[in-house]
Amino acid sequence: LPSLICRRLMHDRRLKILPTPVDLGSFPVEMAWHVRYRHDPAHRWLRAEIQAVALELKAEPVDSSKE
């Protein structure tokens, strides 16, 4: 899992976030959907909610003491 998500979901202090044995670099996170849902109100709402959560996660400061 991306470390951003691991840090957010980590509640059990017995768990640790460990580095990968090789550098995986970074990668973009993207959403994709069928063109027929482009203007669907429910689908647009869901995409907006997912984007808001992703931006919120990205904005959270990193607490290195938890790693």
Asked whether the predicted pLDDT for residue 48 surpasses 80, the reply is yes
Domain tally for the chain? Answer: 1
Report, in this order, helix, strand and coil percent for the chain, each rounded to 5: 50, 0, 50
Q: How far apart are CA 22 and CA 3, in angstroms?
A: 15
Q: What pLDDT is recorded for position 42?
A: 97
What's the chain's average pLDDT? 83
Enclosing domain of residue 17 = 3-66
DSSP-assigned letter for residue 38:
T
pTM: 0.59
